[in-house]
Amino acid sequence: MKRLNMKDTFNEVIETIKRFQSGYSKRNLENIDAFMADLFIIGDSTYAVGTGTTEVFLGSEKVKELISGDWKYWGDVKLDYENAHISIKKETVWFSVEGSVNQSFEDSEERYNSYINFIKDKLHSTDISIKQKLTFINWVLALTFHQRKDEKREYRWPLRLSGILIRKNSKWKFSHINFSIPKPNYPDERFENDKSYIDSYNEQNNLLKEYKDETNSVIDGFLRSFEKDIKGTNNLSSLVRKYFTESDTPYFIDLDNKLYEGIEKIEQFLKENEGRNMSLEIDQYIVSSVEDVSWITATGKLNQHFSESEFMEMSLNEINNLFDSKLSSKDKIFAIQRNISYALKECTAGEVYTYPIRIFAVILNSKEGTKFNSIQISCPFSWIFEGKLDSI
């Protein structure tokens, strides 16, 4: 077998992601089987995670269903593959690449009918208070009842594609792909807002549990120890060095799709954010390994507490930040209304704040021991409404 240097490997990986991009650009459904055979490891070990809660596609045939659906119905995907973040360990590569996807919104009777039905379903819910129902309606109106110049509008939503490539027969092929969208100001699926979000979360976990056909005692112990320590320590510097590689530069990708690279940056993120409020569903995760590289897909929850005054304070701060943004005055008015409606809706659900996350992580087994080299966390994303992200 030809021995590749790092530059050759890097260029081959870029070319592989480029061919993936080409397939998404051409959307040739007649070529889907050839696309899969060229770029993916065919078999049950290959899987993909989409942007929605239950979008877990286990096995290459299910991954093909995801890609076929994307080519038929999704927007125009663009990946910045030339600037992909790539890590290489012998015959295994893990990568993360930023990009975007175009999404169309068009004023139509059908769309507004769907929003009416959406509101009706919420009003018939027996699991939430009247106040929650009313603030939910207000939120829906803030996101939908606004005027734009054109009846049809195109948005470019930020996107990240991460995954694993394995070298097979002198070619790099995907073993796992993971799509994610930055979270809105408030995550789409707060458990206290709707029981259906808990049901979707449990359905997702059942899929993973059924797929998990083997256990890895080393990874099990490592994850349980990490979850326990991250909640129980005030010494984050020691924790990060205990659980993250130092010789292989580690990185952490947060819910906003921002990448923190290096021990110091990861420590800074954990100090400033909600990392210690994370709980993992250890019994449902998927693990795959090639030599000293393992990668996992797991689910979990982030638990926070916000008083009503804290919600309002956050909302006021975000409104103040909008004044200095580059948005037009018209868009600032919409963003302010949307922001207030979000705050009111979230306040009515109480001070306990729980939402689901998915975790994609790479774990290395080396002389340093068993340690994370990368962790990415993301929230489920709903495509129903436009205008949820100022960044678009």
- pLDDT tens readout for residues 69-122: 999 999 999 999 999 999 999 999 999 999 999 988 888 888 888 889 889 988
- pLDDT tens readout for residues 16-27: 999 999 999 999
Mean pLDDT of 367-388: 89
251 φ/ψ angles, rounded to the nearest 5 degrees = -150, 160
For residue 132, give the nearest of 346, 295, 390 by alpha carbon.
Answer: 346
Mean pLDDT of 306-323: 90
Q: What per-residue confidence (pLDDT) applies to 225? A: 92
Q: What per-residue confidence (pLDDT) applies to 390? A: 61
Per-residue pLDDT for 360 more than 90? yes
- The region of weakest confidence among 66-80, 193-207, 318-332 is 318-332
Q: What per-residue confidence (pLDDT) applies to 392? A: 56
Q: 118 vs 180, which has greater pLDDT?
A: 180
Q: How far is CA 289 from CA 93, 172, 175, 201, 363, in A?
A: 12, 16, 11, 26, 9
Per-residue pLDDT for 166 more than 90? yes
Task: Confirm if 154 and 161 have CB atoms less than 8 A apart.
Answer: no
What b/e string do you get for 153-186 counting C-beta neighbours within 10 Å, with b at 16 or more? eebebbbbbbbbbbbeeeebbbbbbbbbbbbbbb
Per-residue pLDDT for 260 more than 50? yes
Q: How confident is residue 382, by pLDDT bands cut at 50, 70 and 90?
A: confident
Per-residue pLDDT for 162 more than 50? yes
Q: Cite the DSSP H helix spans in 261-371.
A: 263-272, 308-323, 329-347
Mean pLDDT of 285-294: 92
Mean pLDDT of 248-276: 87
Per-residue pLDDT for 274 more than 80? no
Considering 59-63, 153-157, 276-280, 301-305, the range whose residues carry the highest mean pLDDT is 59-63
Those residues whose C-beta lies under 8 Å from the C-beta of residue 248, and which sit 6 or more positions away, are: 87, 89, 364, 366, 373
Q: 211 vs 101, which has greater pLDDT?
A: 101
Which bin fits 328, alpha (ψ -120 to 50), beta or left (φ > 0)? beta
Per-residue pLDDT for 35 more than 50? yes
Q: What per-residue confidence (pLDDT) applies to 297? A: 94
Per-residue pLDDT for 196 more than 80? yes
* Residue for token pair 């603030």: 135
On average, the pLDDT of the chain sits at 89
Q: Is 355 exposed, middle or buried (0-12, 13-18, 19+ CB in 10 A)?
A: buried
Name the strand (E) or helix (H) holding 204.
Answer: helix 195-211
Considering 94-98, 239-243, 298-302, the range whose residues carry the highest mean pLDDT is 94-98
Q: Where are the domains of the chain?
A: 6-107+151-181+192-306+351-378
Q: What per-residue confidence (pLDDT) applies to 228? A: 87
CA 186, 189, 195 angle in degrees (round to 5)?
135
6-107+151-181+192-306+351-378: CATH architecture:
Roll (3.10)
Mean pLDDT of 170-185: 93
Report the predicted TM-score, pTM, of the whole model to 2 decimal places. 0.90
Mean pLDDT of 235-247: 90
Per-residue pLDDT for 214 more than 70? no
Q: How far is CA 104 from CA 101, 220, 344, 381, in A?
A: 10, 43, 28, 16
Per-residue pLDDT for 191 more than 50? yes
* Residue for token pair 């995670």: 49
Per-residue pLDDT for 145 more than 50? yes
